Amino acid sequence: MSTTAIAEALQIDQVRADFPLLSREMRGHPLVFLDSAASSQKPRVVLETIDHYYRYQHANVHRGVYTLSQEATEAYETARAKVRRFLNAAHNREIIFVRGATEGINLVSSSFGRKYLKEGDEVLITAMEHHSNIVPWQMACEQSGAVLKVVPVNERGELQMDDFEQLLSERTKIVAVVHVSNTLGTINPVEEIIARAHKLDIPVLVDGSQAAPHLQVDVQALDADFYVFSGHKVFGPTGIGVLYGKEKWLHALPPYQGGGEMIETVTFEKTTYNELPHKFEAGTPNMAGAIGLGAALDYVERLGQAAIGRHEDELLAYATGLLEAIEGLRIIGTAERKASVISFLVEGTHPYDVGTLLDKQGIAVRTGHHCTQPLMDRYGIPGTIRASFALYNDRSDIDRFVAGLERALRMLR
Amino acid sequence: MTINEIQDEIISEFEFFDDWMDKYDYLIELGKNLPLIDEQYKDDDHLIKGCQSRVWLHADLANAHVDFTADSDAVITKGIIALLIRVLSGHTPEEIAHADLYFIDRIGLKEHLSPTRSNGLVSMVKQMKLYGLGLAAKKDA
C-alpha cells in the first residue's frame, strides 16, 4: 500500500486545537459549533498571518517603488497564486479577488448582463440557488428584458436533469448553478451541466461557496467558465472571496467598478483599462483578507482535501443514522451525493423553538430558510433546522447535538 | 393592576426558576395555553413578518380598554406573546402607548426581543404600541 494513495486520517484533536474559538464555553457548556455552512471558524495560522501582515508587511500594493510596498505586493500576489493552485486554474490572472461569492456573482451578472443580455434572452438557474445566485440575475434580467428560467428539483433534492436539457436552448445566454446546496447538501453534477451547456456554447457560472470547504475543486477539469467562493467559509477571513473566470471571458467582459488600480491611462476624454486581473480590482484591495485566505488554503492543503472529505462523509453518515432514528424527524435533502449538511424538521415542532433550546445547551445550529426561500416553497415548508459540519467537528459534537435535540423535543412535544 | 404591577408580578414569578429549562418549560406551557386568535384574523393583514417565526396580532377596543389576541407558529414565541398580552391587554390606549416594558429584560428573555433575532416579537411590541396610539387618536377625534 503506497503512502500517497491513501491520505492520512485527520488527527482530529490536533485539528480542533488549531481553532481557538472552539475552546469557548457557551451558556456553561463547551461550544458545539454546527453552523460552518454559514461561516467557518479560523485556525490560529490565519489569525497569525493577518496579525503579522499588519505588524510587518502592510503598505499599499502595486504602485510603490519602496521595498515595503513591494513586499506587500508580493504577499498579495502570492495569495493569488495560492488560490490559483487551490482551484487548479491555468493562470494567476484568472483569479479576481472580490468581497465574497455574492460580489463575484454580481460582478459577472452585471458585466455579462450589460454586454450580452438583451430582450428575449434567457438566464438559466436552478430551484436550489441561494438568494445570492438568484437576485443578481433577476436584476440583470430586469435591466435587459431577458427572462429567468429555473431548473426544478425533485423530492430528494436533486436537479431534474431532463428538465435542464429541455430548458437549455439557443435563447439561453448563461447558466448559473450551485455546486453544493447550502440547504440540502446536494452535490450537483456540475461537470455534466457544463458539458451540456458547452455543446450549445453557453457559459456556466458555478457558485462554489459550499464546495470549496469540502471538495477538491478543479476548474479546468470542470471546464467552468466562472467559479466563485467566499473566503470565510474556507476558514479564511470575512470580506474576501474569489471569482475565477476563464481568461477569454474576463477579457471580453467590461469592468465592473471604476477607480484606481483598474486603469492603465486616464484622461478626461478616455480611460484605458489595466490588464487582468487588475481590470476587475478597482480601488485598494483587501490585502490582509487575501493573505489570510492564502494561509487558510495552505492549511486545508496541509490537512489534505481527501482526508477532510472522508472525515466529513463519515460524520454525515453517523449523524444521518442517529437523526433518522428520531421519531417524526424528516430530513430535507436526501440526494445520493451530499456534502456535510443536514436539514431537517421534526413533526409538531417549529425550527425556531428547536434552535432556541439547542442554543441553551451550547449547541449552535441554523434555523430558517437559509436564504433559499424558493427552495422552501418547493417543499412547502417555512424553514428547516440545519446542522453543518466542517473538518474540526467530531463524533462527540454529533452525540451532544443529538442528545440536546432529544431533550429539546421532550420539552416541546 | 397597572402595567408595572403586572410586570413586577411576572418578574417575581420568574425568580422561582433555577435554570433555563424550568423557564422554558413554563414559556412552552404558556405558549400552548395561549387562547388562539380568531381564525378570521389570521390573515396577511394581521401578520407580523419575522424571518424565523410568524406572529399574528389583533386588537379590539371595548369600554376604552384594548384587548389583544395573538398567535405564532413557534411555541416559545407564543409563550412570550402570552406574557406581553398579560401585561398590555385590558389597559387604555394611552397606557399601552406609553408603557415601558422592562420585564422581558429582567426575566432574562431579552435575547428574544433583539432585532437580529427576527422572530416577529420586536415588530409585535411596536405594533401593540401603534395600536395603542392609533386607538387613542381615534378616541380623541
Contacts with B20 from chain A: Cβ below 8 Å:
27, 360
- Hey, are the CB atoms on B52 and A383 less than 8 Å from each other? yes
Q: Look at residue A200 in the predicted model and tell me its pLDDT.
A: 97
Contacts with A367 from chain B: Cβ below 8 Å:
52
- A207-223 residues labelled b (16+ CB within 10 A) or e (exposed): bbbbbbbbbbbebeebe
Q: Look at residue A7 in the predicted model and tell me its pLDDT.
A: 53
Min Cα–Cα distance to chain A from B26, Å: 10
Helix (H) or strand (E) holding A244: strand A241-245
Q: What percent of chain A is modeled with pLDDT above 90?
A: 92
Residue A4: pLDDT over 80: no
- Kindly report the CATH class assigned to B3-140: alpha beta
Contacts with A383 from chain B: Cβ below 8 Å:
52
Alpha carbons A361 and A25: distance in angstroms, whole number: 10
Q: For residue B51, indicate whether it is catalytic.
A: yes
Residues of A annotated as catalytic (active site), given as ranges: 371
Q: By the 8 A CB rule, do A50 and A291 touch? A: yes
User: For residue B113, which amino acid is it?
Assistant: L
A412 part of contact set with chain B, CB < 8 Å: yes
Residue-range domains of chain A with CATH? 12-37+304-412 (3.90.1150.10), 47-301 (3.40.640.10)
Those residues with Cβ within 8 angstroms of residue A253's Cβ, 6 or more apart along the chain or in another chain? A108, A111, A112, A115, A245
**pLDDT for B89-98, tens place per residue?**
999 999 999 9
Q: Which ipTM value was assigned to this complex?
A: 0.89
Show the cell assigned to B17. Answer: 426558576
Strand order in the sheet with A147-151: A95-98, A241-245, A226-230, A204-207, A172-178, A122-126, A147-151
Q: By the 8 A CB rule, do B14 and A347 touch? A: no
Q: By the 8 A CB rule, do B55 and B71 touch? A: yes
Alpha carbons A243 and A209: distance in angstroms, whole number: 11
Query: How many inter-chain contacts (A to B, CB under 8 Å) are there?
Result: 42
- Hey, are the CB atoms on A411 and B53 less than 8 Å from each other? no
**pLDDT for B96-135, tens place per residue?**
999 999 999 899 888 887 776 767 788 888 888 988 888 8
Alpha carbons A209 and A129: distance in angstroms, whole number: 11
Alpha carbons A71 and A41: distance in angstroms, whole number: 28
Give me the sign of the Cα torsion angle A332, A337, A342, A346: positive
A368 part of contact set with chain B, CB < 8 Å: yes
Contacts with B112 from chain A: Cβ below 8 Å:
356
Find the mean pLDDT for residues A69-96: 97
